[in-house]
Structure 1
Amino acid sequence: AALYVSALLHGEKRTQREVADVAGVTEVTIRNRYKELLDKLKLEKEIKKTRKKNP
């Protein structure tokens, strides 16, 4: 999930499936850990800003 968050923050378009395959986990694991990271690190606003810059 950290890889997925990093990709989003840097404008790299990667799917949860791609990251899950590389990491050897399921998409559900990526999705759940992603939500936890956004919450704990308070990254939601930053992710939204990045998505607006790189639609």
Structure 2
Amino acid sequence: MKIYCCEEHVELAIDMIVDELETFPQLTQMEDEQKLSTACEYCRNTAIYVVANK
């Protein structure tokens, strides 16, 4: 499971993975070239982080 999110929604994304998978996710900052074409899954602003279970 991967969630792309902006700075504002990173806590929500972490909570979603913890609630669904009962494990603490990895938080990775996206590369600059990835940020240009990836939107936050909650608000459609530019995504900055990938919150994933692996």
Q: Which has the higher contact order (CA 8 A, sep 6+)?
A: 2
TM-score, normalization by structure 1: 0.32
Instruction: Point out the structure with the larger helix share.
Output: 1
| Richer in strand (by share) | 2
